Amino acid sequence: MNGLGNEILVVDLRGRSKVFTPKEVAEIAGRPETHFDQMMVLHNPMTPGTAAYMRIYNADGSEVSACGNGTRCVGLSVAQATGDRELTLESGAGLLTVKVGGADRITVDMGEPKFGWEDIPLNEPFRDTRGIELQVGPIDNPVLHSPSVVNVGNPHAVFWVDDVNAHDLGRVGPFLENHPRFPEGANISLAQIAARDRIILRTWERGAGLTKACGSAACAAAVCAVRKKFVDRKVTVALPGGELEIEWTPAGRILMTGPAEFENEGLLPEQGAPQ
């Protein structure tokens, strides 16, 4: 499947005891017919009333707690299989409610953002995470500096720029993703404020690299922009692969709405190699 071009492999292991190893995940990602940005693996529910427990992997085999585009894909897949238009999924980020209005309008409640430095996490205390000490380039004339940071199920750093295409994110992304400031790594985004209700975004995704779309990054950029009073609480985030609607509700929940699309379907043998 894909969510705005973000390549998602959904693997249904409900009813099985199989758990993929990082090596198996990386091998699956390395094959052209099953290449993915994120792999969403469905296991038997852990919490009563949920449709599945999701384990989420990046293409390098690392496991993460959140993937907005992937969760929309899973929601659409389960909804079409069961007929349920509202369902709850569980991941390392907690319970996620998904409402499926159609393939072009799937809303995921991504939960509440965390802004404390220890929750992101950072390697040292910062009282105000709307802008932390981190820069790229000369100290007196940095190219990028003072990112906003947040955890929306995974860590994000958002750099505010005048033009997202004026920077080589493919070059600085790996350096920033693995910067000592982020002991667990971070998703790195460049965000351009186009209007009070519109953000333009490009993202280097932790463990995956440059991506056409990152749902959690769109959520991160939106809430960080609200905190800095750049935008209103409901915005459109334009990514290379398309647009997402993000709303940070007065109750503190992040609602992400966007499309998902089926591409093809097949079987994976137990050892993880495609048939």
**Active site members:** 67, 214
Element (H, E) at 168: none
Query: What is the rounded distance in angstroms from the CA atom of residue 230 to the CA atom of residue 68?
Result: 23
Query: What is the rounded distance in angstroms from the CA atom of residue 57 to the CA atom of residue 226?
Result: 29
By the 8 A CB rule, do 193 and 231 touch? Answer: yes
10 three-class SS: strand
Task: For residue 9, give the nearest of 33, 21, 17 by alpha carbon.
Answer: 33
Kindly give, in sequence order, each residue whose CB lies less than 8 Å from that of residue 193, ignoring residues fewer than 6 positions away. Answer: 160, 199, 225, 230, 231
By the 8 A CB rule, do 205 and 58 touch? Answer: yes
Structure tokens given for 131: 């802008």
